[in-house]
Structure 1
Amino acid sequence: MNFLAKTLGTLTGISIPYTFGSVIQPSHIDSASSSSLWTIHHGTSDKDSRPVTIFEFDVKHPANSRYFSLVQNAIKKHRALALLPGVLSIVEVIETDKTIYLITEHAIPLSQLLSNYPKRMKLLGIYQLSVALKYINIEGSCIHGNPRLENIYVTDSYEWKLSGFEFTINYKDNSSDYLSLYSFYTSLTSARGMIVPPEFENSGSEIFQGVGKGVKGIKFDSYIYGLTLYQILTGKAASVSADVSRAVNLEGLPISKLAAPSIGLRVTSEQFLNNGDISYFANDEINAYAQFGKISLLNSTQKLEVYKALITGNVPSGFLEVKVLPDIMNTFNTIKSNDNNIQTTLIYLLFLAYSNLAEDSKAFDQFFKPVYFSSFTIADRAVRTIILKILPKVIDKISKYEVQDKIYPNLVTGFADIDITVRTETLLSISYIMDKITDRQLNNDLLRYLAKLQADSNPQLRANTVICLTHISSKMQSSTRTGVLITAFGKALRDPDHVTRLCAVKGFEISIDFFPPEICCSKVLSALSPALLDDSSIIRQHAENAFELYMKKIRDAASKLQKTEDDDHILVDVDNLNNLMNNLSLENLGQGLISSISDLDTSSQSQSNINNSLNLQNGLTSKDNLVDDSFDLDDNEDGWGFDDEDTNSDFVSKSNNFGSVGKPKETFKSFSASKSKTSFTTTSKSIEANKNLVLGKKKTVTKLNLTVEPTADDNDDGWGGGW
């Protein structure tokens, strides 16, 4: 309890369990323009923090002493009528010898809010007041006596309700209380510029024993109520009775019949209400509001119609938040099936109602979220479709924890649904939740689902899968992103659907920043290149653009590389290799043999050399001497025809002196070991000059394995790294 509440308790001699807030409306003591006997405060209950309105009457103030009986009558009659529709609810009454406190539900005078109401919405409020006055007059058997704008209040549910029962009398009561009560009527009404009924102006309170005796007295309320409606609809109080009399059909309401000068021609509140049910009050939101009062008696289908009319009609958002949304949530929780799409409709109506509420409204957390989260557990395709369509509109107000724990685990089950609509909506929703799910959910679970969707039978879904993968690529782990994207986009380029292939090309183009230049060379270009010869000219054009982007990235990276010390050796090696290949040509080889034979010595001692030479010539024509026994010409295992297994043998063939052509970095042997052992010479440029030629620096020879064995993890349909 704050300091003000304690101070009031000390001054009044009683401690009340309410915290006083600001003054809503001063009393006639504090403001000359006020006709209220009460000082009205905003308040809060100390028991449950519920907001209330506190009416305070200072008993001891000299200006109030004459009105004490009016306050006592107001409390008495208010208590008796509080349960009627349209009457401001009482929370508690606290009376002391110094102060009287009337605690009601929280409400604000309509006069302070009226300018904010659109005309269409005012009609619902007028209907609510008409119902209240009718119940007071007929069911309550009372004449309110002062149903003016000052005594109309707007609750937190934006319902218009009546209070101010200071002059209320029971027309069935034979007591003469009205004589003392209405003796103050003029000082609080006409003396302050308010118009009173003509009969009272002529006869005073005696009318309740004359023309207004019994039930006829309720026409006293009709006249004042007509003046009030005129003020509500025009925004200004009537200055003379003629103003109201000329208001024959103001906004469709027969106000002139309510405020007719003749009591005989004047309609009652009941007649006004009944006539309105078939004319000026006959619209969807008013009919729904009337039905809402007995909502518990309606079946599910009837309730649905009431909810629809209220949410789509001209109903204040406060009424939807305080009254309608809680009832929709309760109805949803009691329904076990989606017969006639009732669950689907309730979810959508909750969303519509939330959309019309203020930004600071708590209704989203209190009513919408519980229903929305539980809807993901419902095995109904219509329900799943509607909540996924709503997701983009509400995701900003849902926390990461709620997405990870209450939405994602149930949402991904839609990927396995046999209905294409559910699978598609599930896939489209990923773009909205990807920022709020965990790394594990995205990089493990979600990618596996997308990998399966890429093999879906529906081409549109396959294309959307590529688009989705492109969208979430920035959130993927860098360690797996490269392999997943290249594999997925590469597979999509082989898709028979041209839209999917185009999406893959665009995916490569958008994802270029994720691939380092080395990967662009070794993997991306080879994966993208088939699109350059695609059947579609559009895809080819996009592929060329993407290819050029990657080539530019590669050229930019290459331009930044420094010159190495091996570059000079490479140029020399290329020249030497060209010379060697020229010397090994068939023409030079043939000329060398002829020249060698022509210089043979024919002496007997040279005959042995001739025979050896002939044997060598024969060896040159022998396949057994040129090719190793293990060399198979038909063996194309490594793609080049080389025996990769003979890497540990001597680089000189066992059956001849030729160097192995498969080992280009080893010394190329000359055709003649030395002049003393052979008779071969070269004609123009000796092969001997090329002896011990090495390409580049002399390095250790390593085995070059040209055969690529498939690994256990190589899966063409996966997305790399086991995806």
Structure 2
Amino acid sequence: MFKFLKEVVAGSGSGLKDFPYTIGETYASAWGSWTHHRGTSKDDGSPVSIFSLSGSNPQDRHMVAGRNGVKRLRTVRHPNILSFLHSTEAEVADGPAIKHTIYIVTEPVMPLSEKLKELNLGGTQRDEYFAWGLHQISKAVSFLNNDCKLVHGNVCLASVVVTQTLDWKLHAFDVLSEFDANNEASGSPMLQFEWLVGMQYKPMELSKSDWASIRKSPPWAIDSWGLGCLIYELFSGAKLARTEDLRNTASIPKSLLPDYQRLLNSTPTRRLNPSKLIDNSEFFQNKLVETIQFMEILNLKDTFEKDSFFRKLPNIAEQLPREIVLKKLLPVLASSLEFGSAAAPALTVLLKMGSWLPTDQFSIKVLPTIVKLFASNDRAIRACLLHHIDQFGESMSAQTVDEQVFPHVATGFSDTDGTIRELTLKSMLILAPKLSQRTISGSLLKYLSKLQVDEEPGIRTNTTILLGNIASYMNDGASASVFKVYVSVEDTFFTADLTGTPD
């Protein structure tokens, strides 16, 4: 039996010497007897989380429960459940003794308790973020209870971790088991590892090991109680010490209190189904939750709804916690633009949010999306990019401009819309200095020569002025050609508004 379980955990059975990840520093807290480490992939250096559980005996009951947790996390997939990447079990020398250790590798996360200290939110901003997190965990618990007929068994603050985009994920599956209601009269344990759950987190029927009553209850009864414990720990700011402390509701928001009390109903059959929690409570109706939900289903919204939303978003973003805007909303917005579910007004918002980032982070989190958008066929997006190019143009490398951006921008020189031609021309003040001599001589000058006879007088004049402004970036041969063209131009239209025009 042990051999079978070990194979389930280890997959290929590889030892720690073949472990494709580097184990780093530990976090101060983790669920149960597990240790939570920072880690990185040896292949590409990408961050991961590594959870380890050790014992002197491979058949130690904590190790057996840990293998159950690995198996469950590997097989249960949901957006609000921690994403499994890899696992193995190894024997490592610990002095004269041999230590048996299970390792689980997941997406990079940190304990919720530590992230909350780091964010240090207060007032409305704290409650809005808690609402979004509880919304996510309630969906995860509902999925387990209602869709999978599984019982987590220990939903609490320690069983929640936070991703790099500040999403909450449920983990700690060591106790997780099928909800077995087929034999209601049975007194045998339904949760094999319920002894791992602290007494303060157990509802009355579980603390009494009343398995017959548990089997007669709905599959969410135990985990609804756990959600109540999580809510208490969140708002009280302290770990639950005694079950009796759950009666202290002074810290629970009034809009959440009725549902909090229903989650902790002493009668299991009357406890609130987690699927109903997020539907019923007005606590979940706030700017942050509504904004994220709208953005996650953006592709289902019509053009009018999107335009209205993005007009309001800059003001809403100003009222939300800055870190949540930058780590959660900005990535969703960037992804929506890349995949075409967001239109030009969203680009303006992306640039505004991006302006709140340090330069190095802007280059990582915003610039790649902008570069991809230059290939868009949406004229409004192209116009918006050109109009705001002064906000990000300097951040693009010369190679990126020359190879990825200019070929798409250049199509604007021959666009049928005069406004696009004008914006394309003006963008060269930013882009031309980053172009190679080959691109300037072989492409840019040809486009500019055509614009010198453009039907729009302003474009003709601005083209001539631009040639003078960028001449210093050309080699001698190109400069001589430009000078011949420059002095031969005769145009009676003198007004020009090209940025950087000399007096």
Residue 221 of structure 2 corresponds to 219
Residue 433 of structure 1 corresponds to 431
Q: CA 1:466–1:53 in 2, change beyond 3 Å: closer, same or farther?
A: same
SS in structure 2 at match of 1:434: helix
| Match status 1:86 vs 2:86 | no
SS in structure 1 at match of 2:136: helix
CA contact (8 A) 2:39 2:49 kept: yes
Q: Distance in 2 between matches of 1:104 and 1:197?
A: 28
Q: Distance in 2 between matches of 1:342 and 1:148?
A: 37
Residue 268 of structure 1 corresponds to 273
Decide which of 44, 50, 53 is 1:54's aligned counterpart: 50
Q: Distance in 2 between matches of 1:94 and 1:309?
A: 50
Q: CA 1:222–1:95 in 2, change beyond 3 Å: closer, same or farther?
A: same
Shift of 1:384: 3.6
Q: CA 1:302–1:253 in 2, change beyond 3 Å: closer, same or farther?
A: farther
1:375-386 equivalences in 2 (<5 Å): 375=376, 378=377, 381-386=379-384
SS in structure 1 at match of 2:137: helix
| Match status 1:172 vs 2:166 | no
SS in structure 2 at match of 1:128: helix
> 1:87-143, CA deviations, whole angstroms, 9 ceiling, x for partnerless residues?
223233334572222333332222221231653344322211110011122222233
Residue 34 of structure 2 corresponds to 38
| Equivalent residue pairs, number | 455
**Amino-acid identity (%):** 24
Q: CA 1:95–1:384 in 2, change beyond 3 Å: closer, same or farther?
A: closer
CA contact (8 A) 2:344 2:381 kept: yes
Q: CA 1:486–1:427 in 2, change beyond 3 Å: closer, same or farther?
A: closer
Residue 209 of structure 2 corresponds to 206
Q: Distance in 2 between matches of 1:306 and 1:157?
A: 25
| Match status 1:397 vs 2:392 | no
Moved more, 222-231 or 301-310: 301-310
> 1:15-39, CA deviations, whole angstroms, 9 ceiling, x for partnerless residues?
3423332233368xxxxxx662112
| Match status 1:74 vs 2:69 | yes
Q: CA 1:246–1:412 in 2, change beyond 3 Å: closer, same or farther?
A: closer
> 1:232-273, CA deviations, whole angstroms, 9 ceiling, x for partnerless residues?
345444666266434553575755325545336642322213
SS in structure 2 at match of 1:249: coil
Q: Distance in 1 between matches of 2:15 and 2:283?
A: 55
Q: Distance in 2 between matches of 1:247 and 1:381?
A: 52
**What runs of 5+ residues in structure 2 fail to find an aligned partner?**
1-13, 92-99
Q: CA 1:444–1:49 in 2, change beyond 3 Å: closer, same or farther?
A: closer
Residue 145 of structure 2 corresponds to 137
> 1:388-444, CA deviations, whole angstroms, 9 ceiling, x for partnerless residues?
224323322322233234444553453444432122212211211131124565578
Q: CA 1:384–1:305 in 2, change beyond 3 Å: closer, same or farther?
A: closer
SS in structure 2 at match of 1:435: helix
One-letter identity of the residue aligned with 2:52: E
CA contact (8 A) 1:347 1:371 kept: no
Shift of 1:308: 6.5
SS in structure 2 at match of 1:223: helix
Residue 581 of structure 1 corresponds to none
One-letter identity of the residue aligned with 2:48: V
Residue 550 of structure 1 corresponds to none
Q: CA 1:462–1:150 in 2, change beyond 3 Å: closer, same or farther?
A: same
Moved more, 160-169 or 90-99: 90-99
CA contact (8 A) 2:141 2:274 kept: yes
One-letter identity of the residue aligned with 1:75: V
Q: Distance in 2 between matches of 1:290 and 1:455?
A: 48
Q: CA 1:414–1:65 in 2, change beyond 3 Å: closer, same or farther?
A: closer
Moved more, 174-183 or 119-128: 174-183
**What runs of 5+ residues in structure 1 fail to find an aligned partner?**
1-11, 28-33, 333-340, 511-723
Q: Distance in 1 between matches of 2:488 and 2:235?
A: 67
Residue 386 of structure 2 corresponds to 388
Residue 105 of structure 2 corresponds to 103
Decide which of 153, 161, 183 is 2:161's aligned counterpart: 153
Decide which of 178, 194, 210 is 1:182's aligned counterpart: 194
Q: Distance in 2 between matches of 1:409 and 1:184?
A: 61
Q: Distance in 1 between matches of 2:267 and 2:328?
A: 36
Q: Distance in 2 between matches of 1:157 and 1:248?
A: 26
Residue 571 of structure 1 corresponds to none
Larger radius of gyration: 1
> 1:353-409, CA deviations, whole angstroms, 9 ceiling, x for partnerless residues?
76676634645565543342x33xx4x643542332243233223222332344445
Q: Cα RMSD between the aligned structures?
A: 4.7
CA contact (8 A) 1:178 1:205 kept: no
TM-score, normalised by the number of residues in structure 2: 0.71
SS in structure 1 at match of 2:154: coil
One-letter identity of the residue aligned with 2:276: Q
Greater RCO (Cα-Cα under 8 Å, separation 6 or more): 2
Decide which of 249, 256, 262 is 2:253's aligned counterpart: 249
